[in-house]
Amino acid sequence: MSRFGALQWPSVLVYSGIVAFLGGMVSALAPPRWLGFSRRFHGPLAGILVGACLFCAGLYWPAGAFDTPSPATRLDAFMPDYNFHERHEIVVHAPPNAVRAALDHVAWADLGVMETLGRIRSVAMGGSAARGGLSPTPIVDSVKSPRSGFFLLDDTPREFVFGLAGQPWNNAAVRLTAAGFRTWSQPGSIRVAANFLIQAVGNDSSRVVTETRIAACDAASRRKMAQYWALVYPGSGMVRRSLLEAVRLRAEKSRT
């Protein structure tokens, strides 16, 4: 899991619980004698109970509170205080202008992981696993589209910032303006701000950072988002790492 981002205990506990629970169910059919349980049902029962406890501990892990004492980016300006976050970065052997050009052309269709994760999310939310092909529209353009759940917050040559507001666990989104985003506070909802930041690191290389911050509007939405985030965080990390890799490949290829 750490391959896709810094470990976060709620996700670790939730997915460890799922593994332990499934292990207990499997051991009911083929009890592993090497564990030393005296009765056939002790092993499965232990796995199921441990799994359930870990899963619940992850789901009900208290949400944190973070702030930005010294704002330095446009993302800091739009969301200095937040409850959940993730951050990923990659070094690209290309100058910032080539990296920005690559970012402007990367599409969801370039991310192989999106198709699989999209199907899993659809089934988990009660839909069908069948999905059409991913859009060839560049991600930056799709964020700017009025039909997208996301909306643009700011766009400079070195930083692209976008947002989302509503209830992602219900597929409910509200479109806001950049000015309205800062003060919007609908009970039971959350605000999300994310960016792509490009920094020159010398020798015609760049560091690309993508960070996502989530602020809950009230205690109820904070609890709901904590449970949702514990489940989706690993998949979210996969998407962002895949996106950074797609940007790197496109930018470095443009130099050959």
Domain extent listing, the chain: 7-59, 75-253
Angstrom CA distances, 25 to 34, 48, 231, stand at 17, 7, 21
Please give the average per-residue pLDDT across 217-237, as a whole number: 95
pLDDT at 114: 56
- Chain position carrying tokens 């790492």: 241
Three-state DSSP class for residue 72: coil
Q: pLDDT: is 214 or 22 the higher one? A: 214
Q: Which of 10-24, 108-122, 230-244 has the lowest mean pLDDT?
A: 108-122
pTM comes to 0.87
Q: Is the dihedral of CA 103, 213, 189, 7 positive or negative?
A: positive
Q: How confident is the model at residue 36 (pLDDT cuts 50, 70, 90)?
A: low
- Secondary structure (H, E, C), 76-88: HHHCCEECEEEEE
Q: Which of 72-81, 84-93, 124-133, 183-192 has the lowest mean pLDDT?
A: 124-133
Closest CA to 253 of 98, 107, 91, 88: 98
Parallel, antiparallel, or unpaired for β 66-67 and 172-173? unpaired
Q: What is the maximum alpha-carbon separation in the chain?
A: 66
Tokens of 245: 């890799």
**% of the chain residues with pLDDT over 90:** 68
Angstrom CA distances, 114 to 15, 40, 108, 109, 135, stand at 20, 42, 7, 8, 11
Q: Please state which of the four CATH numbers 3.40.50, 1.10.150, 2.60.40, 3.30.530 is assigned to the domain occupying 75-253.
A: 3.30.530
Please give the average per-residue pLDDT across 233-242, as a whole number: 90
